């Protein structure tokens, strides 16, 4: 116990030392590369992490560290706030919204901090202010573009349906380079949005100002709250940028700023000053927040905003756009509509192709069933003719014995099968189930069977009705496998002839589609273990829809196929024993109505003559 406590203490110190070593590293050189560690600061809902090199995801937890190569996913309604630990840890955070998948490609590098995240679906709010050295970079990659960040606050989303990407900047600048277009980089400033859509091997992009109504439509409440909570920092950064823009106007120098004269600067400043308030108002209008909850959020933010910039929900001024700016916003909206329409058309075509394949499959299955029925009728006619020919050769007493034996083997005849007479029938102690040996010789004897001679064991049930009606059952059959073997592949490859099709349990095997099926089954076979001469077949069936069923009279529920192995040379008689080891029948709640171990045996005699 003492050694265990010492080990736990050492481990705790090591865990603490990890992030502390990052946060308290050498400060001798101000330009030293930052070391980032992504730590889960807050999380809500279903958040999972798959570690680098791992195959299984596990539930994330607060204060958990993420490393290069890790993958984080969030479920519906979930969110997580990551702290990118560094000397400015309190200012670098990433909030990941619901239904997202993010890979942490890189978090540090010896030549400078090379932080990189890949978002394949979902949304995130990024707040990074610690990029100060030339060797430091922070990138976000999506399936359609790469975003380079140098101190900014912005939003990025990737639609899981269309793959369309939105990048909306609220403070600072973001450089976005569409995939395959290294020379067509966009520089985004506050209140701007870039739409990137891929299709037909071509990436299309449209830069415009942010349309708040469309922006809010697919934004989760968690990310809306984060944007509003950062209003003071956003305002502070934008004040400095607006000052630079004002100084640039009138100077004949190249610029990527979204304004080029006093009028456009005044309109742009108005939109930046009222952008957060419009987002708050739209969040209420779209039902993302109640008025009361939004007021609480705004009241917590307003003390950090200067006079004249505070959010007043009762007096939200609309954003102003020029005709050209409105046209650019409409182009972006049109591009997204076209992308969605194209995806819907492709989905429609795929569904039509699937339906055609399904119709073809059903036609083939119908033809197969029709041919099988024709074969069955032909076989019955041959059997009938052979039976009539046999009867003509029998005495009256032999005819009567023949008819009695025939009725005993018919589950619908109402005649209880015999329990002796050659051991052709197993009956359980409580008469819940029986197994009938069906073979060319009904007496339980196969004479001169060639290798591969096939026969079935037929499982029948009775006595399950009213309160004992069942929704499924399991049977474990043991047998001596020295001279026979279970046809497992045959059972699975063409399964329906060996189940009771269109009967009590209408089975739909795995990988097949059966009209009106209401049950599934499972078979497991083993011919190994302590006794290599003993085999086991475990068969289970369960209804997945519909009510429980009553089984009053003896009813066949499954047929298990076997074949004869090679027999030793020369004449001889070889016994094979079958034994039902256990039967479990369950009701709709999965509770056993029958759970009995059985020891009765059935003998099959294999006779080989010279």
Both 459 and 593 in one domain: the answer is yes
The β-bridge partners of 508 are none
pLDDT at 47: 92
Least confident of 34-43, 148-157, 371-380, 443-452: 371-380
461 or 420: which leads in pLDDT: 461
Quick check: 41 and 31 in contact, CB under 8 A?
A: no
Both 462 and 601 in one domain: the answer is yes
Both 316 and 437 in one domain: the answer is no
Task: Summarize the confidence of residues 379-402 as an average pLDDT.
Answer: 65
Least confident of 33-42, 385-394, 595-604: 385-394
Cα separation, 522 vs 476, whole angstroms: 12
Going by the DSSP 8-state scheme, the letter that residue 30 receives in this structure is T
Using alpha carbons only, how large is the chain's radius of gyration in Å? Answer: 38
pLDDT at 15: 32
What is the DSSP track for 268-303?
Answer: HHHHHHHHHHHHHHHHHHTTSS-HHHHHHHHHHHGG
511: confidence class by pLDDT, cuts 50, 70, 90? low
Closest CA to 127 of 99, 98, 94: 94
Quick check: 563 and 450 in contact, CB under 8 A?
A: no
Position 292 in a domain? yes
Helix H or strand E segment including 167? strand 165-178
pLDDT at 356: 86
Q: What are phi and psi of 525, to 5 degrees?
A: -130, 140
pLDDT at 340: 85
Position 460 in a domain? yes
Task: Summarize the confidence of residues 188-200 as an average pLDDT.
Answer: 86
Both 568 and 434 in one domain: the answer is yes
Q: What is the 3-state secondary structure (H, E, C) of 205-236?
A: EEEEECCHHHHHHCCCHHHHHHHHHCHHHHHH
Quick check: 43 and 71 in contact, CB under 8 A?
A: no
pLDDT at 183: 73
- Would the pLDDT of 9 be above 70? no
- Would the pLDDT of 373 be above 80? no
Both 433 and 303 in one domain: the answer is no
With 0-12 / 13-18 / 19 or more C-beta atoms within 10 angstroms meaning exposed / middle / buried, residue 184 is exposed
Quick check: 172 and 154 in contact, CB under 8 A?
A: yes
Position 273 in a domain? yes
Quick check: 130 and 154 in contact, CB under 8 A?
A: no
Last residue of a domain, one of 273, 303, 321: 321
With 0-12 / 13-18 / 19 or more C-beta atoms within 10 angstroms meaning exposed / middle / buried, residue 7 is exposed
Position 480 in a domain? yes
- Would the pLDDT of 89 be above 50? no
Whichever domain contains 557, its CATH number is: 2.60.40.680
Position 75 in a domain? no
- Would the pLDDT of 335 be above 50? yes
Degrees to nearest 5, angle at CA 127 with 125 and 130: 155
- Would the pLDDT of 13 be above 60? no
Kind of pairing between the strands at 519-526 and 572-586: unpaired
Degrees to nearest 5, angle at CA 523 with 522 and 529: 140
Q: What are phi and psi of 131, to 5 degrees?
A: -80, 105
Kind of pairing between the strands at 114-128 and 137-141: parallel
Both 472 and 600 in one domain: the answer is yes
Kind of pairing between the strands at 572-586 and 37-44: unpaired
Total domains in the fold of the chain: 2
The answer for residues whose C-beta is within 8 angstroms of residue 77's C-beta and 6 or more apart is 44, 45, 46, 98, 220
Domain that holds residue 254: 216-321
Position 522 in a domain? yes
Percent of the chain surpassing pLDDT 90? 23
319: confidence class by pLDDT, cuts 50, 70, 90? very high
Least confident of 70-84, 398-412, 569-583: 398-412
Last residue of a domain, one of 293, 321, 349: 321
Least confident of 112-126, 178-192, 342-356, 440-454: 440-454
Quick check: 553 and 446 in contact, CB under 8 A?
A: no
pLDDT at 519: 83
Both 436 and 577 in one domain: the answer is yes
Least confident of 94-98, 343-347, 391-395: 391-395
Both 432 and 550 in one domain: the answer is yes
With 0-12 / 13-18 / 19 or more C-beta atoms within 10 angstroms meaning exposed / middle / buried, residue 78 is buried
Cα separation, 38 vs 107, whole angstroms: 8
| Per-residue pLDDT tens over the stretch 557-584 | 888 888 888 888 888 888 888 888 888 8
| Per-residue pLDDT tens over the stretch 229-286 | 999 999 998 998 888 888 888 777 667 788 888 888 999 999 999 999 999 999 999 9
Q: Which two tokens stand for residue 358?
A: 């399904």
With 0-12 / 13-18 / 19 or more C-beta atoms within 10 angstroms meaning exposed / middle / buried, residue 166 is buried
What is the distance, to the nearest Å, from the Cα of residue 9 to the centroid of all Cα atoms in its chain?
A: 40
- Would the pLDDT of 318 be above 90? yes
Closest CA to 29 of 145, 115, 112: 112
What is the DSSP track for 101-121?
Answer: EEEEEES--TTS-EEEEEEEE
| Per-residue pLDDT tens over the stretch 521-556 | 888 888 754 456 788 888 888 888 888 898 888 888
Percent of the chain surpassing pLDDT 70? 75
Closest CA to 459 of 546, 384, 554, 388: 554
Closest CA to 112 of 145, 139, 91: 139
Task: Summarize the confidence of residues 302-318 as an average pLDDT.
Answer: 91
Both 307 and 448 in one domain: the answer is no
143 SS3 class: coil
Helix H or strand E segment including 359? helix 323-391
Quick check: 580 and 476 in contact, CB under 8 A?
A: yes
Give whichever of 115-129, 189-203, 274-288 has the largest mean pLDDT.
274-288
Quick check: 75 and 98 in contact, CB under 8 A?
A: yes
Least confident of 18-22, 158-162, 424-428: 18-22
Position 87 in a domain? no
| Per-residue pLDDT tens over the stretch 215-234 | 998 889 999 999 999 999 99
Last residue of a domain, one of 304, 321, 338: 321
The β-bridge partners of 585 are 473, 594
Position 438 in a domain? yes
Q: Which two tokens stand for residue 164?
A: 């369309």
Q: What is the 3-state secondary structure (H, E, C) of 400-417?
A: HHHHHHHHHCCCCCCCCC
């Amino acid at each position: 116990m003492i050694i265990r406590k010492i080990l736990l203490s050492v481990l705790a110190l090591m865990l603490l030392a990890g992030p502390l070593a990052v946060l308290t590293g050498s400060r001798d050189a101000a330009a030293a590369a930052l070391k980032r560690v992504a730590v889960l600061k807050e999380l809500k809902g279903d958040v999972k992490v798959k570690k680098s090199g791992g195959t299984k995801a596990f539930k994330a937890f607060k204060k958990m560290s993420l490393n290069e190569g890790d993958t984080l996913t969030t479920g519906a309604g979930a969110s997580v706030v990551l702290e990118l630990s560094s000397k400015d840890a309190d200012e670098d955070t990433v909030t990941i919204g619901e239904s997202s998948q993010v890979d942490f490609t890189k978090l540090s590098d010896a030549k400078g901090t090379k932080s990189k995240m890949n978002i394949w679906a979902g949304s995130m709010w990024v707040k990074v202010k610690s990029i100060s050295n030339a060797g430091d970079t922070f990138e976000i990659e999506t399936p359609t573009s790469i975003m380079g960040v140098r101190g900014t606050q912005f939003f990025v989303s990737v639609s899981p349906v269309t793959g369309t990407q939105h990048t909306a900047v609220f403070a600072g600048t973001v450089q976005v380079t569409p995939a395959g277009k290294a020379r067509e980089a966009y520089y985004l400033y506050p209140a701007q949005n870039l739409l990137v859509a891929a299709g037909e091997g071509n990436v299309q992009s449209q830069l415009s100002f942010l349309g708040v109504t469309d922006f809010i439509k697919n934004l989760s409440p968690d990310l809306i709250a984060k944007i509003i909570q950062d209003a003071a920092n956003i305002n502070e950064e934008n004040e400095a940028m607006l000052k630079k823009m004002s100084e640039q106007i009138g100077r004949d120098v190249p610029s990527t700023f979204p304004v080029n004269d006093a009028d456009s600067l005044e309109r742009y400043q108005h939109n930046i000053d009222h952008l957060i308030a419009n987002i708050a108002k739209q969040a209420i209008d779209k039902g993302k927040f109640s008025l009361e909850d939004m007021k609480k959020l705004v009241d917590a933010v307003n003390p950090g905003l200067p006079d004249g910039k505070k959010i007043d929900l009762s007096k939200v001024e609309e954003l102003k756009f020029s005709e050209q700016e409105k046209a650019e916003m409409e182009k972006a909206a049109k591009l997204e509509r076209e992308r969605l329409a194209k995806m819907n058309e492709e989905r429609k075509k795929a569904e039509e192709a699937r339906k055609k394949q399904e119709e073809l499959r059903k036609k083939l299955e119908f033809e197969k069933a029709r041919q099988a029925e024709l074969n069955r009728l032909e076989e019955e006619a041959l059997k009938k003719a052979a039976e009539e020919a046999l009867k003509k050769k029998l005495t009256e007493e032999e005819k009567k014995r023949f008819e009695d034996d025939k009725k005993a083997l018919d589950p619908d005849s109402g005649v209880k099968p015999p329990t002796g007479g050659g051991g052709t029938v197993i009956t359980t102690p409580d008469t819940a189930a029986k197994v009938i040996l069906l073979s060319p010789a009904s007496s339980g004897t196969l004479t001169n069977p060639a290798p591969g001679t096939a026969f079935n064991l037929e499982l029948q049930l009775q006595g399950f009705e009213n309160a004992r009606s069942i929704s499924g059952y399991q049977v474990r059959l043991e047998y001596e496998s020295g001279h026979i073997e279970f046809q497992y592949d045959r059972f699975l490859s063409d399964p329906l002839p060996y189940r009771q099709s269109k009967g009590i349990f209408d089975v739909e095997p795995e990988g097949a589609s059966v009209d009106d099926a209401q049950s599934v089954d499972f078979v497991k076979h083993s011919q190994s273990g302590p006794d290599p001469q003993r085999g086991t077949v475990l068969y289970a069936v369960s209804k997945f829809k519909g009510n429980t069923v009553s089984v009053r009279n003896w009813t066949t529920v499954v047929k298990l196929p076997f074949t004869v192995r090679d027999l030793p040379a020369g004449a001889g008689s070889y016994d094979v024993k079958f034994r039902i080891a256990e039967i479990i029948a369950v009701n709709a709640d999965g509770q056993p109505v029958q759970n009995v171990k059985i020891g009765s045996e059935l003998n099959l005699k294999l006779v080989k003559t010279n």
